[in-house]
Structures are given as structure tokens and as C-alpha cells.
Structure 1
Amino acid sequence: MKIRPLLLSLSLIAFLLNGFAITSINAQTHDFLYGDPMPDAPELSARGEFKVGVQTINLVNKDQVDILNSKEGKDPVYNRPITIEVWYPANIGENANTVIYNEVMGTAGDTLRPLTPFTFKGRAYRDAQPKTGTKFPLVVVSHGYVGSRYLMTYLTENLASKGYIVAAIGHTDSTFKDANAFQSTLLNRPKDIRFVINEMEKLGAQGSKSNLEGLVDANNTAIIGYSMGGYGVLNVGGAGYSEALMGFFAGMTGGSTAISVNTANNEEYKKLTDDRIKAIVAFAPWGMERGVWDAEGLKGLKTPTFFVAGSQDDISGYEKGIKAIYEGAVNADRFMLTYKNARHNVAPNPPPAEALAPGLHIDEYFRYAEPSWDQRKINNINQHFVTAFLGKHLKNQENSKFLEVQENSNEKDWTGFKPRSSTGMELLHANPTN
């Protein structure tokens, strides 16, 4: 009498195990790449109509201050190399293969976290023929310290598929591969961003003989920055640095005043206002807690800006950091999206599989991962809101319904989100005072 139930149980177990095995195989073979939509991805996160090409371009910014060799306030100059990765709408042949990105974990010179190569797949096509016949708005992307031009491919590929030319900068002295003393990042971050905007305009100009000729609408530009990239894009957008930062910088460099060109009180800085820039996205911008900005400096930010923050950010700070920047930028039309309980990593790709390897330093995982959020969900939400914001300011799209939602996402489903999926967030909006 007891044998039959036992046999049935064993049969059921075998069936369940077999089903689990099939499910596991399907999960492993499903080609889910960075930036692909999760089942609960919001509406505007979906890829656009264009196939995407990608190319690497090596640039040189001549006669720049060589701050790493500055001595006793004397600043030598050098030709600064800068590598950018450019994504763009493209025409793709039938037999083309999608790109494999070559990346590293770790930090140059760090014995505890040595450089560890890895690769990951994208949905772009290496060196594909650009789609001609129209100009596309320009988006320039600046990574954190340390980071790389491949840190946010979920977003760069996505934006290019929606009709943007996207240039992500590999900031010399700030990447995983060439990390160097912090004063180089402090000085060069906004300078690199301005330089790349200008170079992209040249590449897109008639007669440039570049394959981007006639395609880049640099007069319709957005700049996106993460962490130290946020520090850079806010300055390029008009938020001049404080005198306190200049003093700190001089102390680091033996008296150099090279950073004064980007301080709010410098008349030369005021001449750097760039009317080509129509929108700014600042992910977890660094510096407010360290005195990088003061009230007067933040008043100079007048370009529409979308801030993204984690409420538990322990790198840039939240209440006295990112939120204080948002509140102090009184002359800008601005939004701030907050991921509740997230820390600093509200912008990168998900952790690569290699970051899960036993024995690897846990900070390789935490370079990317958020402890309270699925990074893939954050990526989809970022795609949604950046698409809405840039579409409004660079393409004149009517996206108000996606941006003008109630502050607390727990109260009611946000427009564009699937039922019950828009929890744990806050979206603030403030109009300019002047």
C-alpha cells in the first residue's frame, strides 16, 4: 500500500528535475545582453528603429597642461591622447556579426585588484556603414573614476538605436587601464568633454572625409556623466567650481592654478558657455560634499538637467551631495530620480560573469552592482527616463506624461511602467527661479 505513493513521488521528482534542467538550459542559452528589456521594463526603454554601428576613434588634444608633471606651480604642456567609442545608426549587411567588447576589471597598479581581461557581447556592429541622409543629435558620455568608455553600453547602444550619435570618452589617467593621480581627473574631466564635442562637430562637418560626415548635429547636443563624469558635465553645463576647489587643487599639485579656468569667478570660464548643449544627465555627480560647488557656482547651471541618485550613496553623498546640487541649481529646469536604498552604482552595466568568480576581490562585483536593486532593472529605468528627457529637449518630442508623474512611485503606477513595477523610487521636478 505504501509502495505506489513512493513510486509516484519519485516520478514526480524526476519530472520536476527534468523540467528544472530544461529551464536551466534555456536560461543559459537565452542570449540576454546588457540593456535588453526585462519583463517589467518601462515603455521607453525599448530599443529604437535603427540598427547600430560602433567604431573606435583616437584623438589628440594638443598643448594641454601636463598636471602630473607640474612642479612648484609651473605647468608643462603635452599632447593629450583621448580614445572615444562612437555608436551611430547604421546600415547592416545580412551576414554581419554583433560586436564583442574587450574590457578589464581591476585597476592599473593595484596589486590587490590586478587588471583582469574579460569580454562581453553587444547589439551593435563593429565599423558598420553609417546610415546617411539625415543629421542626428549628438550625445557625449563621460565615465567615472575609474571607469571606461564601455561602462554604460546598455545606454549608449540604446540611444544610438533611437537616432543619436553617441560618443563615450575614455578619459586618459581615469580608466581601469591607466588610472593615475586624481589631480588629472579633477583638471581634465570638463576639458575632455568640451574637446570631444568640438571634435565630433568637426567629424560631422561637410568635407571632413570621415564616415560621420554630414551626420552629426552638434548644435543639438546632450552630455551625460557618471560620478566624476557628473562632476565634469555639470561644469561644462555652467556650474563653475568654487574657490575652495582651486585651493584644494593647488595643495595637491604644488601650487598649480590650472583648474582656475573652470571656476565660477573666472571671466574666462564665463566665456565657455556652450549653446550647443541642450540637455544634461548627471548620474551620481561627485563633489558637493567636498566643497566643489557653492551657491553662486550652482546658479550658473541653466541647461535642463536630469539627476539620478541612490538615497544611500556613500561616494557622492545624497542629502548633502547630489540632492544639494539639485536644490542649489535654482536657474535650471531640473529633475531628480532617486532609487531608494541604492548606493552609488546607479549608472553602470550589470556585473560581468567574471566578477562572480570565487576568490576575486568583492569590489570588482561592487564596481557595478547595487546591493538593493537588480542592475538590469536600473538599466531599463535609466533607458526609459533618459529617452524621455533627451527626446523632449533634443527632438521636441512630447514626453511630458513620462516626466510629470507623482513624486512617490509607490502611490500609483508611473506612466509607462507595467502594473505594480514602479516601486521604490522618487521623481522630483523643479522649475528655474529665473
Structure 2
Amino acid sequence: MRFHYRFLPLLLVGLLLSVSAVYAQDGFVFGDLMPDAPELAARGTYSVGVRSLTLVHTGQLDVLHARAGETPRYDRPLPVEIWYPATIPAGKAERVLYEQVMGNFNDAKRPLIPFTFAGRALRDAEPNRGTGNPAGATPAGGIYPLVIVSHGYTGSRLLFTYLTENLASKGYVVVSIDHTESTFRDAAGFQSTLLNRALDDLFVLNEMARLSEKGGKTFLAGLLDANNTGLIGYSMGGYGALNATGAGYSANAGKFFGQMTGGSKAFETRLMSSPEYKASLDPRIKAVVAFAPWGMERGFWDAEGLAGLKLPTLFVAGSKDDISGYEKGIKAIFDGAVNADRYLLTYLNARHNVAPNPPPVESLKPGLHIDEYYRYAEPAWNERRINNINQHFVTAFLGMHLKKQEYAKYLDVPQSANDSPVWTGFKPRSSVGLEMRHAKP
């Protein structure tokens, strides 16, 4: 029988579903190691627990309902997922099912479709309060460093479980935010995302500090050291993370926001020129990881704003990023942050999806909009490989700055992996396709 090429797409989808089914049967979860995973990608020595909370930021400016320069206020709910070192009882499996959706809120062409996926954590497990940080000094004032994670627009607090679980297994408390009006389930006007990202990050930091006070009644009491915090953001999350840590927005960004909101002044407090902005910077944040941060190509930063970033920062980008831009986008931010000790990890020929989990099995089903798959997938890269490489470098970077571990050798590698011996921590031939830049103040 002659094969008709018009059947090829269906054949490929069938093959992908079969492969995914095998992964599921073998117990594969996002973040598990590929054969070529670099050294620091492996999980740490801690078992992992996970819990959900909803925090409420009261009295916030409601820019979606700003009119004629007047901006009302509202209470802003922020669901968060928290991963932490845990004690797993005998007979219990370190296993969890996360509930997620694909699609877009209020989009008839991409309706919300619930799905679940597995992770390596135990829901509501008791925290491990016993051993602190076995690889280094226990931080003063708490047991584990805090890491805050911020998704893109649109996105979810569950978009990076490969990384959040991994970090918790290495002795961090990791809190990932559902940014209200910016998730798959509730996406609304972009002006809310522009204003609230940095504000949400800083509020969650305050709440984690409050909830972890010794003698408190929550599971977080005495568990973390908010004075030793790392901030991770992807896309609009990277945009907000940079602003939360010193990169004040430009006057042009303020004008853009004002035009979107009928003259609202709410954004002025995030401009580099604002004394209120400078006063908001929080010294408890010690390091930043910015995956594909958005905004530079749209003029949201100028030289003065980028010079305000002074914290150690790891940028991660695709050289063909078609959302945030590369040469005039992410790399321009890296070049302009002249007062920060900074790294730029580049995936050659990758586009924007250098941070999320791999595509879930459900995104491979025939008939779905292709963007359900491309919300996660990279055209030129295996997403599982990207995940392992991110686990390796984020472990090295946060380990250096939050745990004082001797991990510089993993970051201070030749710029091009294509033109050099294999990078430290990588298996032979496996660092091809990567670049790493390092610049100091």
C-alpha cells in the first residue's frame, strides 16, 4: 500500500502520544534527568513537600477600572504554591498530581481545558526542620533560603515544577505566585500585569517573612530565612523581577502606561525617577534569575534604569526570542546592567520558551490549537534538555549567592560551548548549542 504524506501529521501525533504514555508508565515526571543532564541538575538530598495558600494584598490600585485619572482600590488575591524540604512518612510516596489548564480565559478559539500532571512531592507533608543546609552554613535567622518564582503573561504558578521541586530538594523554600489577572484562568487587561508584577513579588516576600516568624502557627514558622531571598521570573515575571530589584522603569514606560489607563498615575511609583521607587527596594533579596525578561524592545528601560540593577543576576535567553527580543531585548538589558555582576546563558536558535515545563501529553492531542503545544515547546530544542540545563545553572547561581557554595566553576566557562572543550559539569559533547557571558561592574 502506498503511503500518503498527508497522513504524516497524524502519524507523528500518534508517535508522540505513545512516547508520552511510555514516560507516564515508567513514572517520568517533569524535571527527571535525561542521559546527558549536567552535574548539578540532579535532585538534592531532601524529600519535598508542597502546599497551597492564598494570600490577599489589600487596598491595591485597580488599574483595570481606572477612569479619567481616578484609580479605585481593591483586594488582590494571590494564590501561591510552596515547595519545601519535608519529612516523608513510611509508606507514603513522594508523589503529587498538579491541576492545570490549557487554553486562554474568555477565548472561544482556545477554551480552558483542565488536565493533571505528576510531580515528585508529597502534598501537605511535614517540613524537615532538622538539618538545615548540609552543604554549607545554616543561614542566621532561619533554616532555608527563600526563592520566589514569577510566571509570564499568561501563565501559572505550576509552570516550572521541574525547577521548583528541584530547588526544594536542595534545601530551599520555594514559593511560586499565581499573579491575579495574568494567569491562564483569569487573564485580563495587560495594564494590571505591567503594574503589579514587582508589587506582587515584594508583597509575597513580606508575607513569607511574616508567616515564617518563629513561634507562629503556620507550617512556615521558623522554616525559612526571608533575609536571604532569591527572585526568579520568566518573561513578564522577569520584567517584574528586574524592577523589584533596582531596574526602575523609564519615563517613556510611564507615558505608555498612562495612555493605556486614561491617565492613571499608579505606575509612577515604579519609575527610576521616583523616590518612592527607590525606597521600595528590599535588601532581603540577594540574587535574581531573569528568564527571557520582556520590556527592553518596548522602551521600558533606559541606561539610568538598567544601571540601577546592582544585585547578582543570571539572565537566560534564546538567541531567536520573538517575544522579548534578543540583541535589542534581553542581551541589551544584560549589556546595560553595568553595576551588576551578571551572567547571560543563551540557548542558540531557541525562541522564548526557555523556562517552562515540557509540553504536557494533553497538548499533543489532534485538533487543539498549536499554541497549546508552543506555550511550552521550543522548535529547535528538547524542552527536557533545557529543563536539566536550567536546573544545573540555577543551582550553581543560587548556591553561590544564597548558600555561599563554591560553584563559580560551573558558571565561569568559555563563552561559546561550540568552540571550546566541554563546559564544567557537562558530559562530553552535551554543551553544544550554548553560550555563557559574564560581566562584572
Settle same-fold status: TM greater than 0.5: yes
Structure 1 position 114 matched with structure 2 position 111: yes
Give the match for residue 176 of structure 1. 184
Larger of the two Rg values belongs to structure: 1
Residue 117 of structure 2 aligns with an amino acid whose one-letter code is F
Q: 2:400, 2:164 → 1: CA distance?
A: 18
Deviations 1:105-160 (A, max 9, x none): 00100111110111000001101001114410000000000000000000000000
Give the match for residue 5 of structure 1. none
The CA deviation at 1:399 is: 0.6
Give the match for residue 65 of structure 2. 69
The CA deviation at 1:206 is: 1.4
Residue 38 of structure 2 aligns with an amino acid whose one-letter code is P
The CA deviation at 1:332 is: 0.1
Secondary structure, in 3 states, of the residue corresponding to 1:53?
A: strand
What are the equivalent positions in structure 2 for 1:26-175 lying under 5 Å apart? Answer: 29-97=25-93, 98-133=95-130, 134=132, 135-175=143-183
Residue 116 of structure 2 aligns with an amino acid whose one-letter code is T
Structure 1 position 342 matched with structure 2 position 339: no
Residue 426 of structure 2 aligns with an amino acid whose one-letter code is F
The CA deviation at 1:29 is: 2.4
Q: 1:315, 1:379 → 2: CA distance?
A: 20
Give the match for residue 429 of structure 2. 420
Structure 1 position 314 matched with structure 2 position 322: yes
**Which ranges of 4 or more aligned residues in structure 1 deviate by more than 3 Å?**
23-28
Residue 109 of structure 1 aligns with an amino acid whose one-letter code is N
Give the match for residue 17 of structure 1. none
Alignment coverage as a number of residue pairs: 411
Q: 1:361, 1:406 → 2: CA distance?
A: 40
Label 1:55 to 1:319 Cα distance change in 2 as closer, same or farther (>3 A): same
Maintained 8 Å contact 2:154/2:187:
yes
Secondary structure, in 3 states, of the residue corresponding to 1:289?
A: coil
Deviations 1:290-340 (A, max 9, x none): 001000000000000000000000000000000000000000000000000
The CA deviation at 1:185 is: 0.4
Maintained 8 Å contact 2:250/2:272:
yes
Gapped regions of structure 2 (runs ≥ 5) = 1-18, 133-142
Label 1:257 to 1:24 Cα distance change in 2 as closer, same or farther (>3 A): closer
The CA deviation at 1:28 is: 5.8
Deviations 1:2-44 (A, max 9, x none): xxxxxxxxxxxxxxxxxxxxx9996662111100000000000
Q: 1:82, 1:61 → 2: CA distance?
A: 7
Secondary structure, in 3 states, of the residue corresponding to 2:82?
A: strand
Q: 2:31, 2:306 → 1: CA distance?
A: 33
Label 1:27 to 1:110 Cα distance change in 2 as closer, same or farther (>3 A): closer
Residue 180 of structure 2 aligns with an amino acid whose one-letter code is T
Residue 302 of structure 1 aligns with an amino acid whose one-letter code is K
The TM-score with structure 1 as length reference comes to 0.93
Q: 1:192, 1:24 → 2: CA distance?
A: 36
Secondary structure, in 3 states, of the residue corresponding to 1:148?
A: coil
Q: 1:102, 1:287 → 2: CA distance?
A: 30
Alignment equivalent of 2:206, drawn from 173, 177, 198: 198
Deviations 1:233-265 (A, max 9, x none): 000110000111110001000100101111000
